[in-house]
Amino acid sequence: MPARVSTLVGSLSLFGLLSAGTAQALELPLPPPGEDVVGEVQVIKAAYEDTFADLGQKYDLGYTEMVAANPGVDAWLPGAGTEIVLPTRFILPPGPREGIVINIAEYRMYYYPKGGHTVFTYPLGIGREGWGSPIGVTKVVDKIKDPSWYPPESVRAEHAAEGDPLPKVVPPGPDNPLGPYKIRLTLPGYLIHGSDKKFGIGMQVSHGCFRMYNFNVTELVGMLPVGTPVRIIDEPYKFGVSQGKLYLEAHQPVTVKGDPTEIDRQAAVVNALIKRDDLLQANSAVNWNTVRDVVQGQDGLPVEIADLPAGMTPGAVAKAPAKTL
């Protein structure tokens, strides 16, 4: 286990522990006003038969974030007794904490129930190259139980070319790729839905829709009102405040073709910090050597990069919403 990870390790909140043990979403208490960090990192020891896909489903994590948090560990055969980092500590996404917020760069959704004091967070499968998931603001228009799947002509043509022809309609059932529920958005052609393949959660595998574990989408549908706003962002570098300290969380960008250079990554981090008007006073206190290490590691774990100046009381700054989809 990396040395800096050991300083982050703790126990999940009561909400998170209950959720992890009962195969439900991570439900975490919202932090006080002006703070942004929720949850705690966990470390477990793998059993012989464990894979990252199995552990991800058990602890409500996606495949990509498990791999990022455990460099050098075999995802399909970690080995009995191997220490596995569970990246269950998060900096909440920037912007208003309302409705659904999807951060494509994290392969993760955050749901803030109206009037509630907790946030539910779920791993997602997102659109693969050539079928990217959209960015912008939309809303929930319908929730459909046991949906039939009508593959678009483009998808049927793709499958036919690969020797795997699809019918015009796939009825409800265990082999239906939409799972037990689909959530329709005002954005035509894109859904939030379950999945018959747990291995695709936390990966770029879909034709643009957002895939969830079936037990997660079932739980979400039970809480989610029609009309709920949905904000889709792509923020690989998130800044957050907790107990007088500034944290950075870095993820591998998913929308950049090829490997971005170190200069590109550093510029992206600076731009992300500039967006946070409430944190401009912290610039002079930032340890840029630590920032460089965090950006190079891209392990998705929040890391302390500065002590906030005395008397600084940052508050969440709500930027203008993205273009409505």
Query: What is the full DSSP assignment across 202-226?
Result: TSEEESSSEE--HHHHHHHHHH--T
Give percent above pLDDT 90 in the chain.
53
Please indicate, yes or no, whether residues 254 and 160 belong to a single structural domain of this protein.
no
3-class state of residue 313 by DSSP = coil
Q: What is the reported pLDDT for 114?
A: 93
CB-CB neighbours of 102 under 10 Å: 25
Task: Give the integer Cα–Cα distance in Å for 119 and 100.
Answer: 10
Residue 71 forms part of a structural domain: no
200-213 average pLDDT score? 81
Q: Do 301 and 220 share a structural domain? A: no
275 within domain boundaries = yes
Higher pLDDT, 267 or 186: 186
d(CA 100, CA 111): 4
Same structural domain, 134 and 223: yes
Pairwise CA distance, residues 252 & 207, whole Å: 20
pLDDT band at 262, cuts 50/70/90? low
272 in any annotated domain = yes
Residue corresponding to tokens 């989610």 = 224
- Note whether 202 and 67 are within 8 A (CB): no
Same domain? 141 vs 205:
yes
Are 131 and 221 members of one domain? yes
Q: Are residues 185 and 259 part of one domain?
A: no
36 pLDDT above the threshold of 90: yes
Q: Are residues 157 and 188 located together in one domain of the fold? A: yes
102-124 pLDDT, tens digit each: 999 999 999 999 998 999 999 99
Number of residues that this document lists for the chain:
325
Domain-located, residue 79: no
Alpha carbon distance 198, 217 (integer Å)? 13
* pLDDT surpassing 50 at residue 21: no
Look over the chain and give the mean of its residue pLDDT values, rounded to a whole number: 83
- Burial class from Cβ neighbours inside 10 Å (0-12, 13-18, 19+) for residue 90 reads buried
Domain count, the chain: 2
DSSP annotation of 41 reads B
Point out the residues that are catalytic: 193, 209
Residue 18 has pLDDT above 70, yes or no: no
Q: What's the whole-model pTM score?
A: 0.86
pLDDT digits (tens, 9 = 90+) for 271-300: 787 777 777 677 778 898 999 999 999 999
Q: Please report which residue ranges of the chain form alpha helices under DSSP H.
A: 3-6, 14-21, 52-59, 63-69, 153-161, 214-223, 262-275, 288-297
Q: What pLDDT does residue 261 have?
A: 65
Residue 15 clears pLDDT 50, i.e. is over it: no
User: Same domain, yes or no, for 143 and 209?
Assistant: yes
Q: Decide if 13 is inside a domain.
A: no
**Shared-domain flag, residues 128 and 223:** yes
Indicate the pLDDT class of residue 236, thresholds 50, 70 and 90: very high
Would you tell me how many other CB atoms lie within 10 Å of the CB of residue 58?
Answer: 14
Domain contains 312: no
- pLDDT grade for 133, boundaries at 50, 70 and 90: confident
User: Does position 311 have pLDDT exceeding 70, yes or no?
Assistant: no
- Over 90: is that where the pLDDT of 11 sits? no
pLDDT at 293: 93
Answer whether residue 19 shows pLDDT above 50. Answer: no
Q: 191-210 burial string, b = 16+ CB within 10 Å, else e?
A: bbbbbeebbbbbbbbbbbbb
**Same-domain pairing of 213 and 140:** yes
For residue 146, give the CATH number of its domain.
2.40.440.10
As a whole number, mean pLDDT of residues 240-249 equals 93
Domain end call among 168, 193, 228: 228
In this structure, the answer to whether residues 190 and 265 fall within a common structural domain is no
Rounded to an integer, the average pLDDT of 52-63 is: 92
What is the mean predicted confidence (pLDDT) over 26-55? Answer: 94
* Structural domain that includes position 161: 124-228
How many angstroms separate the Cα of 239 from the Cα of each of 88, 95, 178, 246, 300? 16, 12, 34, 7, 12
Residue bearing the bigger pLDDT, 75 or 19: 75
> Confidence class of residue 9 from pLDDT cuts 50, 70 and 90?
low
b (16+ CB within 10 A) / e for 251-289: bbbbeeeeebeeeebbebbeebbeebeebeebeeebbee
List pLDDT tens digits, range 43-54.
999 999 999 999
Of 76-80, 165-169, 185-189, 285-289, which has the strongest mean pLDDT?
Answer: 76-80
Residue 196 inside a domain? The answer is yes
Asked whether the CA dihedral 213, 215, 217, 220 is positive or negative, the reply is negative
Q: Are 97 and 30 in contact (CB under 8 A)?
A: yes
Residue 269 lies in a domain: yes
Query: Is residue 132 over pLDDT 80?
Result: no
* Residue 240 in tokens: 């957050």
Single residue among 228, 258, 274 that ends a domain in this structure: 228
* 5 Rama class: left (phi>0) / alpha (psi -120 to 50) / beta: alpha
Q: What are the beta bridge partners of residue 84?
A: 44
State yes or no: pLDDT of 316 exceeds 50.
Answer: no
In the listed set 198, 228, 258, which residue is the last one of a domain according to the structure?
228
- Is the model's pLDDT at 20 over the cut of 70? no
Would you report the helix, strand and coil content of the chain in percent, each value rounded to 5? 25, 25, 45
Question: Does 265 lie in the same domain as 182?
Answer: no
Least confident span in 65-69, 154-158, 251-255, 265-269: 154-158
